Amino acid sequence: MRFFDCAALSPEPWENGQGVTHTIARGVDKTGAATWRVSLAEWNNAARFSLFAGFDRTLLTIGDDSVDLYSHDTRLIASPEQPVHFSGDTPVWVNKPANPVHVINVIAKRFSYRTDVTVFGDSAQVTPASTQILFCVRGTWSLTSATLREVSLKPMSGICLESRRESLDLKPDGIRPQLVSIAIDSLPPLPPLPR
**Distance (Å, rounded) from C-alpha 54 to C-alpha 56?**
7
Structural domain of 71: 9-111
Position 39: which residue type?
S
Same domain, 59 and 118: no
CATH number, domain with residue 101: 2.60.120.10
Same domain, 131 and 37: no
Establish if 194 belongs to a structural domain.
no
Kindly state the helix (H) or strand (E) to which residue 58 belongs, with its residue range. strand 55-62
CA distances from 119 to 2, 39, 97, 154 (A): 21, 16, 23, 16
Q: What is the pLDDT of residues 68-91, one digit of tens each?
A: 999 988 899 988 988 999 999 999
* Whole-number pLDDT of residue 148: 85
* Whole-number pLDDT of residue 16: 78
In total, how many domains does the chain have?
A: 2
Whole-structure pTM over 0.95, yes or no? Answer: no
Establish if 82 belongs to a structural domain.
yes
Of 90, 111, 132, the one marking the end of a domain is 111
Establish if 2 belongs to a structural domain.
no
* Whole-number pLDDT of residue 14: 83
pLDDT along the chain (195 residues), means of 10: 93 86 94 94 88 94 89 89 92 88 94 96 94 96 89 95 91 94 91 72
* Secondary structure letter of residue 7 according to DSSP: G
* Whole-number pLDDT of residue 143: 94
* Whole-number pLDDT of residue 63: 84
Establish if 4 belongs to a structural domain.
no
CA distances from 113 to 23, 77, 82, 110, 129 (A): 18, 24, 21, 6, 11
* Whole-number pLDDT of residue 162: 92
